[in-house]
Amino acid sequence: MDPFASLVEVYSVPVDAEADPESRGRLPPQEANRLSKFMVDMMELESDDDSDDERSVSDVYEDCSDGFDSDYWLDSELFSDSEVESDSESDIDVPDVLLSATLMNVQSYDKNRRPEVDHKDAPRVDIPWVYFGNHYFTHLTSFSIAHFLSMVLHLTLLDNLLIDPATRTPFSKGLGLFVILCRFRNMNWQVMSHVLFTSRPRLLAIYGHTLDLLSLHYRVVVRVIDYVRVDPLLAAWSAVAHATCGSAVDNLYVADGKPWPWSVPGVGKAARKFAERLGIEASRIQRAFYNGYYGVHGARIQHLVEVSGILYSYCCSIRNHDAVLLRKSKIDSMLDCMYVNNDPNRPVRVMTDKGYARSEHWNPAFSAAQLAAAAYNPTRLLALEENNAANYGPRAAVEHSFAYVFTMFPFFDQKRKFRLFEGGKENYGRLMETYDMAVFFANIKTCLTGGNIITGKFGVDPPSLEEYLHSVHSGTYVNVNFD
């Protein structure tokens, strides 16, 4: 029998979010440990009713009362509120009072379900853009206050007041976005707790719930090409990019992959359960996320860079080649229907390195072997060399895109903070969506600031934030199945 089975009903008891933290039944650690032992023994006593053991409730109480602070409990609210006619300790049903105290303590201290318990020294900061100055706010989030508030107003698919269903924690949309950006800027929870005068469990609840909602509504923006916004602009982009950087005509995208190191996956209970579902050994999971060429465990990130500075991303295991990652991301399928002015002789082309296959829409650099094979034909050799020279500089834009995201959000460069198994469960999907949301915020900053290093290279202006989010707000994105 589970000794804590009777506590399940405690989790469904509504708790007033505005209640005084002093009334939440918090106990000194020594008393809490003693009460926990008392409760376990009480549950064992109930389950052994048919046994020959003649232990009684009073015996259990005596076992747990070694060093018991009777003055603390006699002066507590539990005894003062109990329905007793006498003030003497003998008239009080001590075991029942201790059991009630145990329930209150577990309800207060449970890490996943408990309400927030804030700092006593100062009021918590629920509107940081008012509390902090612009310089410090920009340091914390990489957004100025004006740009941050503009982002909050434009993300209309999120309610202004959010409530985490697990912890019943109410918070504003702006505070949720602020917590995510601070975490992406590599601020740890301890520092964030002191900055916002808010408990760590409350910050974790805010971060997790806001990230889930963002991923649900806006992840499609960084995984699917926005045809409604892009298609009317392809011809103008081609002309401007060719005139600015000398890239080949109609080369409007750049693609490449990059390793994203993680911690070494464990082989514990969560890994074994995950391996059992897949029908493999737990040790093979480590190999599935290891790349011998890079010598690290982790994931592989693919960026598709638009000449307007907008980034698209997709992640999978680091063992996958760029070509496999391309197929899984469905980017090749999305580009198959893109032509400048709907002219079949002008396919939209993607500049890549030599790791990608050449096709109508893909223009990888010519390898040394291909140049050597064309040596017998000087005219063709000159054309191949000119193509490589024209696309060499623009193709570096994809490297700038990785630097743009990892510099803005240094949290993603800390491999020890990314674990495939954490908290007894698989964390793969959460890691993927976390990086996609970082790319989403990077795109928002590009829209708000009017450009980045990529737009400076190609000379194409990025869309406004309203234009960038128009398709997701109007529901005109193409439905792509990534399974």
327-369 pLDDT tens trace = 888 888 898 889 999 899 999 999 888 878 888 888 888 878 8
Three-class secondary structure of residue 305 per DSSP:
strand
Query: Using an 8 Å Cβ cutoff, are 124 and 198 in contact?
Result: yes
Q: What is the DSSP letter of 375?
A: T
Report the alpha-carbon distance of residue 204 to residue 192 in Å, rounded: 11
User: Among 31-35, 91-95, 370-374, which range has the highest average pLDDT?
Assistant: 370-374
User: Among 69-73, 203-207, 388-392, which range has the highest average pLDDT?
Assistant: 203-207
Q: What angle do CA 31, 32, 38 make, to 5 degrees?
A: 90
Q: Which two tokens stand for residue 26?
A: 């918090």
Report the alpha-carbon distance of residue 365 to residue 302 in Å, rounded: 18
Confidence at residue 96, expressed as pLDDT on a 0 to 100 scale: 60
pLDDT at 370 over 90: no
pLDDT at 26 over 80: no
**Between 258 and 391, residue with greater pLDDT:** 258
pLDDT at 183 over 70: yes
Confidence at residue 153, expressed as pLDDT on a 0 to 100 scale: 94
**Between 330 and 88, residue with greater pLDDT:** 330
Confidence at residue 217, expressed as pLDDT on a 0 to 100 scale: 94
Query: Using an 8 Å Cβ cutoff, are 262 and 289 in contact?
Result: yes
Report the alpha-carbon distance of residue 168 to residue 14 in Å, rounded: 9
Confidence at residue 220, expressed as pLDDT on a 0 to 100 scale: 93
| Residue 110: band (very low, low, confident or very high) from pLDDT cuts 50, 70, 90 | very low
Q: Which two tokens stand for residue 136?
A: 């410090």
Q: Which two tokens stand for residue 271?
A: 């890994």
Q: Which two tokens stand for residue 421?
A: 């198994």
Torsion of the alpha carbons at 422, 423, 426 and 430, rounded to the nearest 10: -70
Q: What angle do CA 259, 308, 256 make, to 5 degrees?
A: 20
Confidence at residue 284, expressed as pLDDT on a 0 to 100 scale: 83
Residue 316 burial (C-beta neighbours within 10 Å; 0-12, 13-18, 19+) = middle
Domain ranges of the chain: 5-109, 128-219, 226-258+300-474
Report the alpha-carbon distance of residue 366 to residue 160 in Å, rounded: 52
Query: Using an 8 Å Cβ cutoff, are 326 and 304 in contact?
Result: no
Q: What angle do CA 461, 469, 404 make, to 5 degrees?
A: 55
**Between 315 and 385, residue with greater pLDDT:** 315
Report the alpha-carbon distance of residue 48 to residue 65 in Å, rounded: 22
For residues 141-151, give the mean pLDDT: 94
| Residue 457: band (very low, low, confident or very high) from pLDDT cuts 50, 70, 90 | confident
User: Among 102-106, 129-133, 465-469, which range has the highest average pLDDT?
Assistant: 465-469
| Residue 81: band (very low, low, confident or very high) from pLDDT cuts 50, 70, 90 | very low
